[in-house]
Amino acid sequence: MTGTHTDTATEPTPPREDGGPGPRAPGRSRRDLALLIMPTVVLVLLLLTLSTRNSDLLTADGLLALADSAAPLMVLAIGATLVILCGGIDLSIAALAALSSVLFAMWIPSLGPAAAVAVVAVGGLAGAVQGLVHVTAKVNSFIVTLGGLALWSGIALVISGARTVPVTDIGAIQWAFTDVAGIPSAVLIALAVVVVLGAVLRLTPAGRWVRAVGHAEQAARLSGIPVGAVKVAAFTASGACAGLAGVLLVARTFSGAPTLGATLLLPAVAAVVVGGTAITGGLGGIGRTVVGALIVIVLRVGLSLVGVDAGFESIIYGVLIIGAVALTIDRAKLDVLK
Amino acid sequence: MDDDTGTSTPAPVLAVRGLTKRYPGVLALDGMDLEVRPHEVVGLIGENGAGKSTLLKSLVGLARPDAGSIAVRGETVRLRGVAHAASVGIGMVFQEQSLVPNITVAENIMLGSEGAGVRGGLFRWKRMAELAQVQLDKIGSAVSPRARTDSLTFAQRQMVEVAKVLALEERTAHEPVVLLDEPTSVLERDEVETLFAQVRRLRERASVVFVSHRLDEVLEISDRVYVLRNGRVVAEVNPAEVDATDLHHLLIGRESTHSHYHDDAQQEAAGEVRLSVRDLQTAGCDKVSFEIHVGEVLGVAGVQGSGREELCRALFGAVPRARGQVLLDGKRVKLDSPRGAVLAGIGYVPSERRTEGVVSAMSVKENLSMAHVGAVCRGPMIDGRREHDLVDKWVSRLGIRTPSGDTRIGTLSGGNQQKVVLARWMISDHLRLLILDHPTRGLDVGAKSEVYELIRELAASGCAVLLLSDTLEEALAMSHRVLVMKDGQVTACLDAPRGAKPDPVAIMEAMV
Amino acid sequence: MAADATPHAPPRSLEPAPLAGAPAPGAGGDGDKGNGTAASTALPGRARVSRNADVVQTWASLIALGVLVVVFAAISPQFRTLGNLQQIIDAAAVLAVLATGITFVLLLGAIDLSLPGVIGACAMTVSLLVANSRNDNDLGLLGVGLTIGLGAMFGLLSGVLSTRLRIPTFMTTLGMSAIGIGIATILFGGSRPVVLDENLNAWATSRIGGFTLMSLIAVAAVATGWAIQRWTRVGRYAAAIGGGEDIVALSGVSVARYKALAFGVAGAFYGLGAVMVTARLGSGVVEAGAGLDFAAITAAVIGGTLLSGGRGGVLQSMIGVVALTVLANGLILTGVSPYVQQAVQGVIVVLAVAVAVWPVRHRLGVVK
Amino acid sequence: MAARMSRLRGTALVGSVCTALVLSACGGSDTDTEAAGEGSGSGACAPEDVVLVGQVRNQTNPYEASWLEGGDAFAESVGLEQQQLTYDGDSQQQQEQVRQVLASGEASCTVINALPNGDSDTTPIVAAADAADAWLVTQWNKPADLDVTEYDRWVAHLTYDGVESGRQIAEAMFEQMGGSGGIIALQGILDTAAAQDRFAGLEQALEENPDITLLDDQTADFDRATALEVTRTLLTQYGDEVRGIWAANDDMALGALQALEAAGRTDVAVVGIDAVPEALEAIEAGTMTATVSSDGPWQGAVGLAMGYCAATGEIDVADIDPDDRAFFAEQFLIEEDNVAEFTESSVDVEELSCDNLFSRATGPIAAS
């Protein structure tokens, strides 16, 4: 690990019989710790830097507004994290969120708040379909979900008649935009997703199955891990998260639209990677994505607020996102970087 | 260049003095001294961890020694990398073949030093082919330089690899030193013969360092043998004067061969049929039928392409579209997925340990409980304490040398990794059949012996074992019966009771 | 993301990783059954399979394209006209050049999302360098050359950043895209430069043998790309790096340098693509590259250039380019509602790839 | 605690929206309705305390760039600086920016002149501004059921009558065509009111001119490059039948012009909307028939001016004629004979005194 990265198994620093502490390099755990907190450090540094130009950012209101803004992106990115951990990618999340927003707005009159459940279920179903196509037809997930991106947004256009669908019963979505004890409910919903999925990944075998599939799919399959099912489940969860993100989007615009949230795809993937999850799969986690989503939001919103010209804003965003990734990813565990 | 090929110890082409390399926690090389003379084959043996790989890496500039020197033809060099090593005439055939699959043979041979094959920045394919052909001719390989590399057989690729290393000759104006790292570890016997013929030819124009776990092969091919232990040379022997048993002693100081296979532990298999296979049909496997009994080790012998690997994988549900009737304890097993096989009580130890056996980025603990994670769960949750206890139990029971259960398994030696893979299946209460695909491949003598002991224990506990071996000797020694396969069909089935093992020659005849 | 090799794969074992799930050596796929001679039984199945898979995929892509053409031709009489053929080739020109470029990156096993930014910046640059409505520059072809150079610089920068900082190309190029858009925005400065250079405008308007100058330039560019892939170190090493990066490094090749160069070559093609877009639109447009990143990648993948690297090539990518263009053209000509077109396109893209993969799907071990 | 306050205001807003919609499902929140009335329609900010914010999609198209320039000009005239926000056509980013601008809690002297990305984006912007007591002017996009007069600090919403623009240019085109022949229509992004209204205007005009046939309508997403491709394909399909091209904005019209040029067609009438400089040049040169002006600089300036006048107390929102709270602004059909008047477009700050802000109103926005 600290040595050359080519020596993977045959004779790399094996522990001797009288091994004592073994091959754990002294600096190893400190480095791991550094990698663990690096995304947070980057976030804090960004906030501090930006707040020198706009002091409102670091106030309690400013931070809450940031978190509130980040909520839909965070939910989307968490779903994407699961798929990326499995070694795939889901490019359909933003389009699926848009479709969900349309469905949600259309279903509220008949279902009321329960429409949210239905929409999340539909999102999950759409994700499952993509997962099944990916697993059974063995089509690269990039392509499957790229096709999904076009398909879901096409369906959203058709069923909405290409129009914005207003929510007529605001009461039915109030739960998603009020606040509880001063904290916006969208933030709480996002946190709930983090907690639930985080618990599933950490406490049940699902987490290690996902990581095993991402690290070494073949080895996972040959240990009897239901690889296909794990992948389909990851896509399903990603779809459901996209559905929930669609609901959150509706709750802040009081309407659903076939292009609502469509621009969130690349920021969501960026959030995953900036958080330190390896795009090649296996390494990373949901907690990291939460921080990653906050970093991306700070970059997107913060930069425009400190009064930089649009052109320079974009350049600085590009430079900072590369810089953030350079600081947060764990290179030592990646033999080949693509 | 060097006429002096007599016995009067000519000047060495390669001299290693006091080479020392420390990795965190481990002294990999501890003052290593050895030399390689012109036109000789030097054997290098040692257990895993003895320092072979680190030595070879140092010789091609992939590891930087902390102390000591490497001298090539009398001049001390500090090697900066493979390309630099090549420029002074040291080339290596890597254990993991280092050919790029999707380009031509010629490109692979010339990779990185196309020379006249590229002019004005453009590849001249005809010239490339000619230049590569020169190298291929040296070793008498019939492979076309224009063939795509992944269309070749494994043995052919090994030859291309040798040819690639020989291309050094033209570049250095010296006779090269060729390092062969475990070149035979995945070759079948006939391929080994071909390779050896080439090594003997190679000796005419180069010096060879030959590293292998197979002691008999080292004795057969080498002019001199260095025995390494704990990063030092502990003996230099003349192969004419020693046999494999002596080498075993030197290597580990343990008694070997017969006790090596734990022959005494072979017990009679119980009568009931554990697994019954009827007309199993899959790609490479044609209507195979056989039975395994409770507590029996069934060896499967066959050359490459005999269909025995496919058989193993089909039984584990890892091959698409396998047909046939498979009964496990009388109950029908579907061959559609490894998952189904695992739930039915079948385990599989794949031959490609590093890509298929372990998830090297994950911990020992996670790898160990991977297949039967239910055993450490309470409800849907993993019970951390129970898992910890279970892992501790098996780590100590199998003598797995690891700092802790949380250590990344990729940092362990091959033998310890393999033990974790075995433990993965052994923790199950209802393991009924364990399929072992070359379980000792790439392991050192000591680790092999430990694996054999585990197989014996498993069989004694009633588990049926299907064993594919690296060597016929291993298959015979370990099995109660040996199934011989050829061209996808079973050609013979021989009993191999303790103390009355059949003649390998008879089996060889059924194999080819 | 698109890596077939697991991050912790040991120094590449001999068998190509994507096929590791296939039966162990000796297991022929279907194709081996017929010729099960003594010689071929000894052939390791995986190796043969990967070669077969290449050929099968290429043929399957061609067949999928053929089916599209036949279906559209059957439905729409306009589709069958010579004029429409010219239109398709003309419409494919820009995407062809971009797909040629991105093929080099995909061969490496890397990915490139920088197209929108690079094209935006290059489009603004070329429209400000040739005769235009905003300033007094009139560099003509030199301006075109400089723009292609700028594209190459962008590509090189992406490559150098990825290799030096050791970060995934996905992120480097995503950042690079933002940087390119930023530069383009600054160059735009509030008013759009209209191209007044007659020669450049002629790319889109003057025709030779019925084809626009631009489509001929595209053909030449694709041919150049193919030559680069076949005869130069950058091209050959890009494929080799995709096939086994560590092995190439062990052979003493500077992987980082050739990766960066491959990105540079790709960038030069994006630069040319930007010039073509500008010639076509008649003025510098910042968003000229929007959506082209995914279009180029999709085209390459439909043609059989795998995202995992090492397989496919410029010519294969062209199959995908034509297929995508035919699809867009045919959907309009056959009167499919604009609302539905997007959805249909998505389904057909997935179907096309699925059909191409279907015959060999059992032999594809790990698909990510 | 301030956050809590603003949240409560948000709830209050919802209450009022609900009441307006006369929906029963909002039970329990009627007391909140009172709270909404507390704000005052007239501010007392010192002129130097006013914060001026102009928000558009991006600076990379001439129209919106000129918007911001107009805003700057106004800000300069009152000795302030305009904070420019661009959200890149990304609804989420627009919302986030608005939230952050208002997050400071003390926003009662903040004036936002916003171009919402789509209809659906207006509602949350209005809600956020209302909750923070900020002064707001919105332009172009607003859901029909959102009533400006229910808010104290949402000074006005102004837009152009899309139906009217679509009809005017259609008629100009028909005239040019001699009253008969086939046309094709290029629609904008389908889910925008602008695209739909303008197309509705075309349909009205078509009804009145039965000799004109609409051969096909396709969406080109308001995008020049897409319009180019679509036009080329449609030209292949319909050939000489096409005598006119109606585009929902000038960018698409310019893309269509490029396609016509490439096809060597000069006999086709092309019309668009927005009066971007290139379109004006094309009209001057006679290649394009007509466009409709929506005055970008004026829009950028007048929005800030309205908010500024209200914030400083020079006008009381409550006193504004309800018809002027949401109005269609005056627009001009530009053809070859009057194009010269529009080529030098800049904002006349003199026009924007607090008593002259609504001079361009042509009538209230009709409920659709």
Q: Are C273 and C148 in contact (CB under 8 A)?
A: no
State the Cα–Cα distance between residues B185 and C256, nearest whole angstrom: 32
Which of the other chains make 3 or more beta carbon contacts under 8 angstroms with chain B?
Answer: A, C
Provide the token pair at D269: 């009438």
Mean pLDDT for A64-84 is 92
Tokens of B154: 């494994």
Structure token pair of residue D135: 């002064």
Residues D212 and D268 reside in one and the same domain? yes
H helices of B183-270, in order, are: 189-202, 215-221, 244-252, 257-260
- The answer to whether residue C155 scores a pLDDT higher than 90 is yes
- C residues 261-300 near A, CB within 8 Å? 294, 297-298
Q: Is B403 on the interface with A (CB under 8 A)?
A: yes
Clarify whether residues D130 and D186 are in a common domain: no
Contacts of A212 in chain B (CB under 8 A): 359, 362, 366, 370
Q: Give me the domain span that covers residue D86.
A: 42-160+298-326+346-363
| Whole-number pLDDT of residue D38 | 42
- DSSP label at residue C55: H
Query: Tell me, what CATH number does D92's domain have?
Result: 3.40.50.2300
For residue B285, the model assigns a pLDDT of 84
Instruction: Specify the number of domains making up chain D.
Output: 3
Domains of chain A and CATH, by start: 42-328 (1.10.3470)
Q: For residue C293, what are the contacts with CB-CB under 8 A and spacing of at least 6?
A: C112, C113, C114, C115, C116, C177
Given a contact cutoff of 8 angstroms between Cβ atoms, the answer to whether C94 and C281 are in contact is: no
Residues 6+ apart with CB under 8 A from D260: D231, D235, D245, D266, D268, D270
D25 and D99 in one domain?
Answer: no
User: What's the average model confidence in pLDDT over C92-121?
Assistant: 95
Amino acid A306: pLDDT: 76
What are B364's two structure tokens?
Answer: 């020992």
Instruction: Let me know if residue D281 belongs to a domain.
Output: yes
Whether D209 and D132 share a structural domain: no
Residue A334 confidence (pLDDT):
53
CB distance A14–B413 less than 8 Å?
A: yes
Mark yes or no for CB contact D218/C332 under 8 Å: yes
Confidence of residue C35 (pLDDT cuts 50, 70, 90): very low
What pLDDT does B226 receive? 92
Q: Please tell me the distance from the alpha carbon of residue B481 to that of residue B501, in angstroms, as a whole number.
A: 9
- At residue C352 the predicted structure's pLDDT band, cuts being 50, 70 and 90, is confident
D189-206 core/surface letters (b: 16 or more CB in 10 A; e: else)? bbbbbbbbbbbebbbbbb
Instruction: Kindly state whether residues D75 and D155 are assigned to the same domain.
Output: yes
Tell me the shortest Cα–Cα distance from D293 to chain A, in angstroms: 25
Q: Look at residue A109 and tell me whether its pLDDT is greater than 80.
A: yes
Q: Is the pLDDT of residue B189 over 80?
A: no
Kindly list the structural domains of chain B, giving each domain's residue range(s) and its CATH number in brackets, ordered by start: 14-253 (3.40.50.300), 269-345+430-512 (3.40.50.300), 358-429 (no CATH)
Do D111 and D76 lie in one domain? The reply is yes
Q: Which residues contact B400 (CB under 8 A, 6 or more apart)?
A: B364, B394, B412, B416, B419, B420, B423
pLDDT tens-digit map of A246-271: 999 998 888 888 888 788 898 999 99
**How would you write chain A as a 3-class SS string?**
CCCCCCCCCCCCCCCCCCCCCCCCCCCHHHHHHHHHHHHHHHHHHHHHHHHHHCHHHHCHHHHHHHHHHHHHHHHHHHHHHHHHHCCCCCCCHHHHHHHHHHHHHHHHHHHHHHHHHHHHHHHHHHHHHHHHHHHHCCCCHHHHHHHHHHHHHHHHHHHHCCCCEECCCHHHHHHHCCEECCEEHHHHHHHHHHHHHHHHHHHCHHHHHHHHHHHCHHHHHHCCCCHHHHHHHHHHHHHHHHHHHHHHHHHHHCEECCCCCHHHHHHHHHHHHHCCCCCCCCCCCHHHHHHHHHHHHHHHHHHHHCCCCHHHHHHHHHHHHHHHHHHHCCCCCCCCCC
Domain match, D145 and D94 both: yes
Query: Which residue in the block uniquely carries the two structure tokens 């040319």?
Result: C272
Distance from C-alpha of B25 to C-alpha of B9, rounded to nearest angstrom = 38
The residue of chain C nearest to residue D89, with distances taken between CA atoms, is: C287
| Closest chain A CA to residue D56 | A310
**Highest mean pLDDT (candidates A79-88, B318-327, C353-362):** A79-88
CB contact under 8 A, D60 and C188: yes
Is C8 within 8 Å of A331 when comparing Cβ atoms?
Answer: no
The kind and range of the H/E element at C122 are helix C115-129
Between chain C and chain D, the number of residue pairs with CB atoms below 8 A apart is 91
Residue A228 has a pLDDT of: 93
Q: Cβ(C28)–Cβ(B284) under 8 Å?
A: yes
Category of B103 on φ-ψ map: left (φ > 0), alpha (ψ -120 to 50) or beta: beta
Examine the domain organization and report whether D66 and D93 are in the same domain. Answer: yes
Residue A286 predicted with pLDDT over 80: yes
Assigned token pair, D241:
């039948």
- Judged against a pLDDT cut of 70, whether residue A175 lies above it is answered with yes
Query: Rounded CA gap, B420 and B398, in Å?
Result: 8
pLDDT of res. D103:
77
Residue C7 confidence (pLDDT): 36
Residues D236 and D284 in one domain: yes
Regarding whether D152 and D187 lie in a shared domain, the answer is no
ipTM of the complex: 0.80
Residue B37 — very low, low, confident or very high, per pLDDT cuts 50/70/90?
very high
Q: Do A216 and C8 touch (CB under 8 A)?
A: yes
The residues, ordered by sequence, that sit 6+ positions from D353 with a Cβ below 8 Å of its Cβ are none
Residue D338 lies in a domain: no
Q: Check whether B406 has a pLDDT greater than 80.
A: yes
| A162 closest CB neighbour out of D3, D120, D191 | D191
Q: Which residue has the higher pLDDT, D335 or B512?
A: D335
Asked whether at least 3 C-beta pairs link D and B within 8 Å, the reply is no
Identify the residue with better confidence: B370 or B505: B370
In a domain, D340, yes or no: no
C365 falls in which pLDDT band (50, 70, 90)?
Answer: low
The answer, yes or no, to whether residue A128 has pLDDT greater than 80, is yes
Give the C-alpha separation, A273 to A268, whole Å. Answer: 9
CA atoms of A53 and A69, how far apart (whole Å)? 20
Res A38: pLDDT: 86
**pLDDT above 60: residue C30:** no
Mean pLDDT across chain A:
84
b/e C152-185 (16+ beta carbons within 10 angstroms → b): bebbbbbbbbbbebebbbbbbbbbbbbbbbbbbb
Paired tokens of A159: 């069923």
- Pick from A32-36, A310-314, C144-148, C204-208 the range whose average pLDDT is largest: C144-148
Q: Is D248 on the interface with A (CB under 8 A)?
A: no
pLDDT at C24: 34
The residues, ordered by sequence, that sit 6+ positions from D54 with a Cβ below 8 Å of its Cβ are D67, D68, D71, D82, D83, D84, D85, D112, D113, D114, D300, D303, D304
Q: Report DSSP letters for C104-121, one per residue.
A: HHHHHT-----HHHHHHH
- Asked if residue D202 and residue D128 are part of one domain, the reply reads no
D368 inside domain = no
Residue C268 predicted with pLDDT over 80 = yes
Nearest CB to D225: which of C184, C288, C329? C288
Task: Identify the pLDDT of residue B502.
Answer: 78
> Lowest-pLDDT range, A166-170, B234-238, C161-165, C284-288?
A166-170
Are the C-beta atoms of B308 and B300 separated by less than 8 Å?
yes
Q: How far apart are CA D177 and CA D184, in angstroms?
A: 13
Q: What pLDDT is recorded for position C366?
A: 67
Q: Does C64 touch chain A (CB under 8 A)?
A: no
Q: Do D278 and C333 touch (CB under 8 A)?
A: no
- Taking only the tens of pLDDT, chain D with its 368 residues reads 444 444 444 444 444 433 343 333 333 333 333 333 344 667 788 898 899 999 998 887 778 888 899 999 999 999 999 988 988 877 778 888 888 888 766 788 999 999 998 777 888 899 889 988 999 999 988 888 889 999 989 999 999 898 999 999 999 999 999 999 999 999 987 767 788 889 999 999 999 999 999 999 888 888 888 898 889 888 888 888 999 999 999 989 999 998 998 888 889 999 999 888 889 989 999 999 999 988 888 999 999 999 999 999 999 988 888 888 999 998 889 999 988 888 766 777 778 888 888 888 888 886 54
CA dist., res. B396 & res. B390, Å (int): 10
DSSP secondary structure letters along C306-355: -TTSSS--HHHHHHHHHHHHHHHHHHHHTT--HHHHHHHHHHHHHHHHHH
Mean pLDDT of A143-154: 91
Residue D196 and residue D218 share a domain: yes
Task: Report the pLDDT averaged over residues C308-334.
Answer: 90
On chain B, the residues whose CB falls within 8 A of the CB of C21 are 318
Which region among B360-369, B385-394, B495-504, D289-298 has the lowest average model confidence (pLDDT)? B495-504
Which is higher by pLDDT, A310 or D299?
A: D299
Q: Dihedral of CA C166/C170/C173/C178: which sign?
A: negative
CATH of C48-363, one of 1.10.3470, 3.30.300, 1.20.120, 1.10.10: 1.10.3470
Residues of A in contact with D10 (CB under 8 A): 177-178
- Predicted local distance difference test score (pLDDT) of residue B252: 59
For chain A, the maximum distance between any two Cα atoms, rounded to a whole number of angstroms, is: 74
Contact C26 B306 (CB under 8 A): yes
Mark yes or no for CB contact A336/C7 under 8 Å: yes
Contact assessment for residue C230 and residue C306, using Cβ atoms and an 8 Å cutoff: no
Say if the Cβ atoms of C10 and B354 lie within 8 Å.
Answer: yes
Please, which residues have CB within 8 angstroms of residue D191's CB and are 6 or more apart in sequence?
Answer: A157, A160, A162, A163, A164, A257, A258, A259, D118
Which two structure tokens, joined as six digits, stand for B306? 């005999």
